[in-house]
Amino acid sequence: MPNRSKRVLIVDDDHAIRQLLRRILRTEYQLAEATGGRQALEILASFLPDLVTLDLRMPDIDGWTTCRRLRSNRWGRKASIVVISADCTREDQRRAYEAGADDFVVKPFCPEEVRSRVRLHLQLREILDTIGPTDM
């Protein structure tokens, strides 16, 4: 079921990947795109994403640093972060989770996997928001 009130920020330096993710997610969510970590951080406050898809290997600010900066930002702290990267070593995944990522999808990916992961993390975020910090 589409939830056009939810916002997803796609962060990837590869135009073809951004285009593919846009096609996969555009009917269900409001989308914004960034070509790198710096641009993602610049548009964060004006877009206020509920979820960020994040590549790791980007030329300006890598995904691990971007993830840490998102988590330290009041607007990025509540957003779910799903790393989508071809870098799939255990070390890369460990570093992504330590930086604050919620999930990791390996490229090449299947569109339904991305849809399912995005939907799952947005649902989890809604549940956590209804519980509130004092109930945990």
Q: Residue ranges per domain, the chain?
A: 7-135
What distance in Å separates the CA atoms of residue 38 and residue 5, rounded to the nearest whole number? 25
By C-alpha distance, which of 68, 62, 64, 55 is closest to 11? 55
Which of these CATH numbers, 3.30.2020.30, 3.40.50.2300, 3.40.50.11810, 3.40.80.10, describes 7-135?
Answer: 3.40.50.2300
In 1-136, where do the E strands start and end?
A: 7-11, 30-34, 51-54, 80-85, 103-106
- CB-side exposure of 43: number of CA atoms within 13 Å? 17
**Residue 94, C-beta contacts closer than 8 angstroms, at least 6 positions apart:** none
| pLDDT mean for each 10 residues of the chain (136 residues) | 82 97 97 97 94 95 96 91 90 96 95 97 90 62
Instruction: Give the pLDDT score at 34.
Output: 98
The residue type found at 39 is Q
Instruction: Give the pLDDT score at 136.
Output: 45
In angstroms, the first-to-last Cα distance of the chain is 28
Instruction: Give the pLDDT score at 4.
Output: 74
By C-alpha distance, which of 30, 35, 43, 41 is closest to 16? 35
Instruction: Give the pLDDT score at 124.
Output: 94
